[in-house]
A and B are shown apart, each in its own frame.
Chain A
Amino acid sequence: MARHVVVRTVLGRGVGVRPPKLLWFVMVRRSRWQKRRSPRRFVSSRCLVLGDPRDRRARSLSRPTTPADIDELMPKVSSIGGAASSTLGEPLLVPAAAAPLRAKRLELLDNAKAVLISSVVLYHSAVVYSSADRPEVRMRSSLATLLTGFPMRALALLLTHTARLPSACSMQSPSSPACSR
């Protein structure tokens, strides 16, 4: 049985579709042999449904597409999803349990939001507790402390830590060139 992907689009209103309801696309996923034949095409065919395919009343109102529908809608349809338009040869497909596809989440944006929200919280805290938004304050001393104090202390800590490690000198004989330098 064909697997249907229902995609709700923005074309439902204002493009002259009657009845003026949301326009749904039912794209039939291609079978394996179809993929082998033309791997660049996303779907085998598209059918148009006027109204929500999950709605029984809408399904009863739906009708097979006509050439006029295709002429009117295909230029707009073909620009969606990047798939090439194809003939609507199949009957109207209205799977009962079809659900609209959600756009794929972009982890990049979620990660960016996390960093941004942390910046907002830090900025608000700095504003409330140290008036960082005042031009005359502008966290000058704080930044100086951060940029001078922290790296230097971290460096000192690292050097102290590495000094305790067995050095090249102690691992070798005291007369080695590394110790005489």
Chain B
Amino acid sequence: MKLVVMPCFCMISGHLSPATIEDRHARGLVKVLATYLIFQGLYFAMKVVAFTLAGFGVQKLPIELFNPPQQVVTWFLLALIIWRASLPTMLRTRVPMLISLLMAHGALFADLGVNHQNVLSFWPFFVGGALVPRDAWAQLNRPDVRRPLAASFVTCALSLALFSAYAEQRFPTLTTAPDTSMHVLTTTPALFHRYGGQHFHDAFYQLTRTYACFNGSPPDPSGVKLSECSSMRELGRRATFYVASLPLMAGFLCLMPRQSGWLTTPGHLSMYVYLLHPVLLFNPWVLKTTFDALSAHYGREVTVWSPATDGSVFFLLIPASLLACAALSTPWARMLLWPLVEPPIDWLLFGVGPPPTAGAPGAANGAKLPRDVSFVV
């Protein structure tokens, strides 16, 4: 997921971004900034309420708008503004891809930190997407290209899943001790362990560290300090990350259906899902209810810092996440929540367009797909 998901998003955003900034695009960037401020304020309010409900102390002022200490999903909006604003200039340079790669690698040694390191570390994917020619998707659809790429992606994903599950699993084995001829119950590494499974843990740990450095080493997950990211070793790993993600992204895209279907509408409304899923899934009430239920199930206190690792939790998370995605990509969600995701900045600030009195933008389309409110604004 780490090698594919956000790189792919950035690449698609770059591919769909215009190479010039006209008035309409500039207004779109202001709208993204307004959306950023709205949601960052909302997330901060949720954090204050959640901490207060849990009995923890929290600093209410200053409002964490531009430099939140924890990782937030709004980093992508900030990055999008910077990337979109700089794209026309970048494309006029001789080697835009090389420049973005140099900046992304050099960012390891800069004091960017959480939520800001991403702006540069994921930049090459955005620039790469802008450089991808329009007919590349048709090339990707050719059977001789599509099949091997898709097969390699599936093989890689399955292998990683199997290794992740079984790499360190050991089976009990009854053996005979040579000196005493007594039967001894020992454990034998599983098949995956013999075929490199012992290295999987190290590889996964390193990937987690590298991705943490991509995100500016957020304090929670891996314990990686920012200073540890500023090393030549991490520089090499970041370069490897870029190289490794390319075929995986291509393989992933080869697996995607090319016709309009039930996936298309959530894709159109991906910005709604992206920005609103923390509000739906991680609001103080849901957090408290879920952790109380998990604590009762485990017989111990389960919190964000004391995780629930049982498989049943993951079983529940999959349908819950998919349900949340489906709910947030419905027309009703858009009709209700569009002022948050699509604030009427055009009319409010610039006096362009009709006043927003007719409900959600694009609601008059009826059965048609709504106007795109995905990552390309």
Which residues of A does B touch, CB under 8 Å?
10, 12-14, 22, 103, 105-131, 133-135, 137-150
Contacts and interface: CB of A to CB of B under 8 A. Distances in A.
Contact of B273 (A121, A125, A144, A148): A121
B5 A139 contact: no
B309 A139 contact: yes
Nearest to A111: B263
B314 A117 contact: no
B256 interface: yes
B217 to A, nearest CB: 12
Interface in B253-283: 253, 256-261, 263-268, 270, 273-274, 277-278, 281-282
Contact of A109 (B1, B221, B259, B267): B267
Given A114-B263, A147-B165, 11 more contacts: A107-B259, A107-B260, A108-B256, A109-B267, A113-B374, A117-B266, A119-B1, A138-B208, A142-B315, A144-B166, A146-B311
A109 B4 CA distance: 14
Contacts of A138: 164, 204, 208
A129 B258 contact: no
Contacts of B221: 127, 131, 133-135
B101 to A, nearest CB: 23
A90 to B, nearest CB: 27
16 contacts: A12-B20, A108-B137, A110-B263, A112-B253, A113-B270, A119-B5, A120-B277, A121-B324, A125-B317, A126-B317, A130-B313, A143-B311, A144-B165, A144-B169, A146-B314, A150-B315
Interface in B154-178: 161-162, 164-166, 168-169
Nearest to B205: A135
Given A124-B277, A129-B313, A137-B307, A116 B162 contact: no
B9 A116 contact: yes
Interface residues of B, number: 77
B261 A111 contact: yes
B90 interface: no
B309 A137 contact: yes
A145 B321 contact: no
Contacts of B123: none
Contacts of A131: 221, 304-305, 307, 309
A125 to B, nearest CB: 5
Contacts of B281: 121, 124-125, 128
Nearest to B169: A144
Nearest 3 CB-CB pairs, A to B?
A145-B311, A110-B267, A131-B307
Given A114-B267, A123-B1, A149 B311 contact: yes
B294 interface: yes
Given A111-B267, A118-B266, A129 B317 contact: yes
Contact residues of B: prevailing secondary structure:
helix
Interface stretch (B11-19, B36-44, B339-347): B11-19
B320 A125 contact: yes
A145 B317 CA distance: 13
Contacts of A137: 307, 309
B19 A10 contact: yes
B181 interface: no
Contacts of B294: 129
B258 to A, nearest CB: 5
Given A121-B277, A125-B317, A127-B221, A112 B310 contact: no
B93 interface: no
B375 A135 contact: no
A140 B321 CA distance: 19
Given A107-B260, A135-B205, A129 B20 contact: no
B314 A145 contact: yes
Given A142-B310, A146-B311, A146-B315, A117 B273 contact: yes
Contacts of A107: 257-261, 264
A139 B374 CA distance: 30
A171 B92 CA distance: 76
Nearest to B8: A116
B365 interface: no
A112 B256 contact: yes
B222 interface: yes
